[in-house]
Amino acid sequence: MQRTVILGSTSRYRREMLSRLHLPFDVQPPEVDETPHPGETPAALAARLALAKARAVAERFPEAIVIGSDQVADLDGEPLGKPGDHERATVQLRRMSGRTLVFQTALAVVCQRTGFVQQDLAPVRVTFRTLSDAAIERYLRAEQPYDCAGSAKSEGLGIALLDAIDNDDPTALVGLPLIRTCRMLRAAGVELL
């Protein structure tokens, strides 16, 4: 008997990514406080939150295999979260213009009943081209990426803001590194394909 797979996330982007695997899964909100701890690095924050999300849902569904993920944009060690509105997105994109950031995408897979716990980090180096205020405004009006860490969606028009993306998992920048997800799900006993 295959265990139920649950995505512990409210992100529609992660839901869309996981659906690519043609695997039946449920979605549950993790209800985790995402406030950074004082002095916490972006990588540590992303890793802590991914594991906390998976564990929070696994406590409610101990028989299930639960996936938790989180992404934090890292600008010189400073975490940049989701902007939430147009003004903050404009400020973020101005700060990222002509710079290289690391999007720290963390993943955790937990099954409380079996004691299975694995987690990993999929850092993605992203170089933004130099952006004019007019380009930033046009982009934000067109895509409204206010629910995305770093204010840009590489899977859409946001790709035009970038000079380079460097990573080992092309889905990590969208928020769920599927190569690592597949590896962890197989290790937890989920049959893929």
In this predicted model, what pLDDT tens digit does every residue of 5-47 receive, in sequence order?
Answer: 999 999 999 999 999 999 999 999 999 999 999 999 999 999 9
Model-wide pTM > 0.85: yes
Give pLDDT, residue 122: 97
Give me 89's structure tokens.
Answer: 């997105």
Q: Are 112 and 144 in contact (CB under 8 A)?
A: no
pLDDT for residue 120:
97
Helix (H) or strand (E) holding 156: none
50: nearest Cα among 193, 181, 188: 181
| Structural domain spans, the chain | 5-187
Catalytic one of 33, 70, 120, 133: 70
Question: What is the chain's mean pLDDT, rounded?
Answer: 95
Say what percent of the chain tops pLDDT 90: 90
Strand-pair partners of 100: 127
- Find the mean pLDDT for residues 42-58: 97
pLDDT tens per residue, range 101-143: 999 999 999 999 999 999 999 999 999 999 999 999 999 999 9
What is the number of other CB atoms lying within 10 angstroms of the CB of residue 147?
A: 14
For the chain, the distance separating the N- and C-terminal CA atoms, rounded to the nearest angstrom, is 16
Active site residue 70: yes
Q: Return the CATH fold of 5-187.
A: Maf protein (3.90.950)
Answer whether residue 52 shows pLDDT above 90: yes
